[in-house]
Structure 1
Amino acid sequence: MASRTHTVTNQPPPLVGYDVFGADRALSEAVERHLDPALLPGARTELSELGRAAGSAQAQEWGAQANENPPKLRTHDRFGHRIDEVEFHPAWHRLLGHAVSAGLTSAWARPGGHVRRAAGFLTWTQAEAGHGCPLSMTHAAVPALRAQPDLAAEWEPLLTSRVYDEGLRPASAKAGALFGMGMTEKQGGSDVRANTTRAVPLAEDGAFALTGHKWFCSAPVSDGFLVLGQAPGGLSCFLVPRVLADGERNVFAIQRLKDKLGNRSNASAEVEFDGTWARLVGEEGRGVRTIIEMVSATRLDCALGSAALMRQAVAQAIHHATYREAFGGPLVGKPLMSNVLADLALESEAATTLALRLAAAYDAAGAGDERERALLRLAVPVAKYWVTKRCTPVVAEALECLGGNGYVEESGLPRLLRESPLNSLWEGSGNVQALDVLRALQREPGALDAFLGELGAARGADHRLDAAVKHLFQELADLEGIEARARRLVERMALVLQGSLLVRFAPPEVADAFCASRLGGDWGAAFGTLPHTAPTAAIVARAGVALE
């Protein structure tokens, strides 16, 4: 056979060797908007370094390797001793180690920490999403542990450390630690009140012995876990260390690892407790209230993770269309393709803008702003519901922009597509989020006041937004059959919140196209149906990536 059969032409170069943070104008502008100007120089430097690492060939290779070599369960050592360890590919450790050293678990103790950490999380997880799970849970465990000051004093320095110290050892022997969480059980799922894990008090003050199981336990090689169990005083929150203070391993039997649709690099396990030693966190019988602080933070990370997947998919689609020629010119210049890409870019920017606004609210709430805290109570489940729901159709449409090339594993788009439904399931599915919004509306009027105040900041800026807000008022005033139409209500709340933010902060072409399509009704069921007058070329140019 001939050694050379054809010359390869009209194929785009790999999207590699670029600053993931710096190339994302919506993200970088949000950081500048929400950070104190005195913090900006350091934050820009830090995030650009992380962005260049995320866009490097090395990080992309780590992501591929971690997913091609999923974790393996080792229940026993060669001598028959029970060890319950999970073996990860070295690429997983490199990804996780880089993330920890970049501060993606240390948002709580520094000014602007949540905005900086959210921007870093959105940037770095574009290289690989699965290792974001232990990062998220470790970050989110901090506010829950603060319900028990002695435990917080022991663990918080380890959870916020920038040292990735792998291996199972007592906390006192480690320079950094990771945390996981176990809430759901096979018989109850999201209905955690149905949990049957028993917690029996021990002689030591605050210590309990747990017997039961957890149906989903992610990152089961973490150093500690927050779990729910039925104590004599009711459902309570407990800290379960993997290794006890004397070096003995706690009873933490990993029964099997889940065989998941996506998220292949990350281990999700079924675990059994049998006299497992644990410490009470918070008040006995108030377990849900204690652990909900962790859940709220991880729900925001669900929105951030979905925004990261959307951004990477859209960047890949625009990059491909910029270099690929068809029917006499670059695809990106074709009116219909430009419409599709612009529509996708709007969805991505709206998700990023909303997620960073909520990260800023966390910073403000931590500084004592009660109105921002009230806003989070309603806006977090709204954002979690909508942004995670939009992720899968965005990634699927972006994949189609690459044609058959997008359906091939080497493009990276199939991995993004498999990952895309996860965040809508994790930390409560769509129905759970919608019901949580109803609960906040009914029990916490301050949350609605804060939410409406955020919308009011854009009043009069766009007539379509004003009309959508008026319609929302009408829906909120009619409580008949509210549960059955909760999803429609939450969708409307998310869209007007995104519209309000874009009208205030995005370029006019972005805000106008968003309001015309999402709020004004001039939009079809599929992407690529923006009004024909929309400045699609300008929107696409804003979302594109220029290789260095």
Structure 2
Amino acid sequence: MVPILAPEQSATHDVTNQAPALAPYDASDDAALVEGLRREDAAWAEEDVRRLGRLAGGEEAQSWGEQANRFTPELRTHDRFGNRVDEVDFHPSWHRLTDVAVAEGLAAAPWADERPGAHVARTAKGLVWGHTEVGHGCPTSMTYAAVPALRRQPELAAVYEPLLVSRVYDPGLRVPSGKRGLLAGMGMTEKQGGSDVRTNTTTASPTAEPGVYTLRGHKWFTSAPMCDVFLVLAQAPGGLSCFLVPRILPDGTRNTFRIQRLKDKLGNRSNASSEPEFDNTVAWLVGPEGQGVKTIIEMVNCTRLDCVMTTATLMRKTLVEAGHHTRHRAAFGALLVDQPLMRNVLADLALESEAATTLTLRLAGAADRAVRGDAQEQAFRRIATAVGKYWVTKRGPAFTAEALECLGGNGYVEESGMPRHYREAPLLSIWEGSGNVNALDVLRALGRAPDTADALFAELSPARGADAHLDAAVVRLKDTLSDPALAERGARRLVELMALTLQGALLVRHAPAAVADAFCATRLGGDWGNAFGTLPASANLDSILGRALPGSASLG
């Protein structure tokens, strides 16, 4: 017999003062995003971005993201008969997320789109679709980045590019030419060198067939091992070179790609990261022998942009979650969102998020115009992408931690989703070069290509005279760059100043005065504490939050 609870007992289970689920919501309800999309030549994509934003914020897509991380990839080295297969099984939600991403052009589709702003449209879609989860963005990012590298070997590009730019997700290991669409991965780093790829020990031996080699060695971090093809660095007779490695060879046999294990990572758990070993693995040379780094440099520019984009996405997603929670949770006699100190925290986060989104879309605009031959934009992209990669990704972990704290104990619980976002944030500052690697890359660009500094100051120039803090920062930056004692040990300080000055200039030119003034006063003027939520009394919190929180922004 089932016992009947007394009324006073059942009443203890009433749920009050808890925020409802955020979904469904519109991930594209972001003024900075839509304005940047229009400004950077991609207004034609706005309807699609908005549609994708509504899909991303829907209950079904949000559940896909949660499930893809709860049910993580599983490695199968052998089939039931003992044959080596080296396959990774993913939860169906991973495939649904990737299917949408590829169909929406988040892989290599922009390279086949001649419309100005095609690369901006892709970035804007990434900024909204990433609200689901970011792990599945790894293979689409690598596929996007593979095309410009592959074009250095036109005969290979002719075979593979039409399938890489496809909007069809066709999973499973089969002969590439027989599939409707391909995904590309990359295998660059090795256990003894990491970012120092020139220490790679994997060897590439020429065969009797021109352009075809066999590889022997290992890789330390090769994500998305179920991709169809990989760009790999190996030591050829002429030096470090780039190679195309298909999982399945043209004759239908499996190329040697022995997956030793999957990484047990802090975050990014929906995405499989593997340690493959090559042994007589067939590969095709991409670009000249000895120019492997030069061949992949364009690839790096693309993936670094995606690191900035993904961090900006995590910032926006966690800000939206924090804003939603504080609008529904009351404490000490008032809703959290109405309490002055919480409003200060949220507004400070909103400034950081808008600065990251605005810079992301400006970098995407530079990438779009650079691939169309604009030399000024090529120079700006060269330095600004490294600057943005360094700074925005550095801000990600602190930002997501503060947003999580807005939910209190609820934010520390896995069901809220916030711990997952927090664990993702550090990856973006590590992938495609840690902070030191990117800071040193900025110094390298300044030394080898002086036009990069000219391009940066040309970008700052239109904001001159609009804000005294910004003007003073530009002077400091010029003085720093002209100092003959500029050295490696000060690279981080220099790149931070570059990033904040660039973000300040973009906001002064394109954001409302309340946003630009508060950003410049705090980040450039020093009227700021050591934590989020320390905006000065002069900051117009109501205007900042009215623009930032979904449902409040006026997008036109």
TM-score clears 0.5: yes
Correspondence 1:138-177 to 2 at 5 A: 138-177=143-182
Matched, 1:28 2:31: no
User: Partners of 1:475 and 1:547 in 2: how far apart?
Assistant: 41
Correspondence 1:42-191 to 2 at 5 A: 42-105=44-107, 106-110=109-113, 111=115, 112-191=117-196
Moved over 2 A (4+): 1-7
Structure-2 residue corresponding to 1:531: 536
Structure-1 residue corresponding to 2:354: 349
Structure-2 residue corresponding to 1:15: 22
> Does structure 2 retain, via aligned residues, the 8 Å contact 1:258–1:268?
yes
User: Partners of 1:246 and 1:476 in 2: how far apart?
Assistant: 56
User: Partners of 2:171 and 2:118 in 1: how far apart?
Assistant: 24
Structure-2 residue corresponding to 1:291: 296
User: Partners of 2:370 and 2:354 in 1: how far apart?
Assistant: 24
Query: Offset at 1:332?
Result: 1.0
> The residue matched to 1:134 in structure 2 has which SS?
helix
Query: Offset at 1:154?
Result: 1.0
Matched, 1:331 2:336: yes
Structure-2 residue corresponding to 1:460: 465
Structure-2 residue corresponding to 1:200: 205
Query: Offset at 1:479?
Result: 3.5
User: Partners of 2:158 and 2:510 in 1: how far apart?
Assistant: 40
Q: Letter of the aligned partner of 2:24 in structure 1?
A: G
Correspondence 1:136-535 to 2 at 5 A: 136-480=141-485, 482-535=487-540
User: Partners of 2:484 and 2:144 in 1: how far apart?
Assistant: 37
Which residue of 534, 538, 545 corresponds with 1:540? 545
> Does structure 1 retain, via aligned residues, the 8 Å contact 2:268–2:424?
yes
Task: List per-residue Cα deviations over 1:386-441 (Å, max 9, x = no partner).
Answer: 00000000000000011111111111100000111000000000000000000000
> Does structure 1 retain, via aligned residues, the 8 Å contact 2:103–2:167?
yes
Q: Letter of the aligned partner of 2:423 in structure 1?
A: R
User: Partners of 1:97 and 1:192 in 2: how far apart?
Assistant: 32
> Does structure 2 retain, via aligned residues, the 8 Å contact 1:325–1:331?
yes
> The residue matched to 2:219 in structure 1 has which SS?
strand
User: Partners of 1:43 and 1:378 in 2: how far apart?
Assistant: 27
User: Partners of 2:481 and 2:432 in 1: how far apart?
Assistant: 25
User: Partners of 2:163 and 2:464 in 1: how far apart?
Assistant: 45
Q: Letter of the aligned partner of 1:385 in structure 2?
A: Y
Task: List per-residue Cα deviations over 1:91-125 (Å, max 9, x = no partner).
Answer: 00000001101111112222111110000011101
> How much is the aligned-residue C-alpha RMSD, in angstroms?
1.2
Q: Letter of the aligned partner of 1:66 in structure 2?
A: A
> The residue matched to 1:108 in structure 2 has which SS?
helix
User: Partners of 2:132 and 2:484 in 1: how far apart?
Assistant: 44
> The residue matched to 2:489 in structure 1 has which SS?
coil
> Does structure 1 retain, via aligned residues, the 8 Å contact 2:480–2:486?
no
> The residue matched to 1:279 in structure 2 has which SS?
strand
Percent identical pairs in the alignment equals 64
> The residue matched to 1:205 in structure 2 has which SS?
coil
> The residue matched to 2:76 in structure 1 has which SS?
strand
User: Partners of 1:159 and 1:376 in 2: how far apart?
Assistant: 24
Task: List per-residue Cα deviations over 1:57-96 (Å, max 9, x = no partner).
Answer: 0011111110001100000001110000000000000000
> Does structure 1 retain, via aligned residues, the 8 Å contact 2:546–2:552?
no
Query: Offset at 1:481?
Result: 5.1
Task: List per-residue Cα deviations over 1:294-320 (Å, max 9, x = no partner).
Answer: 111000000000000010011111111
> Does structure 2 retain, via aligned residues, the 8 Å contact 1:318–1:540?
no
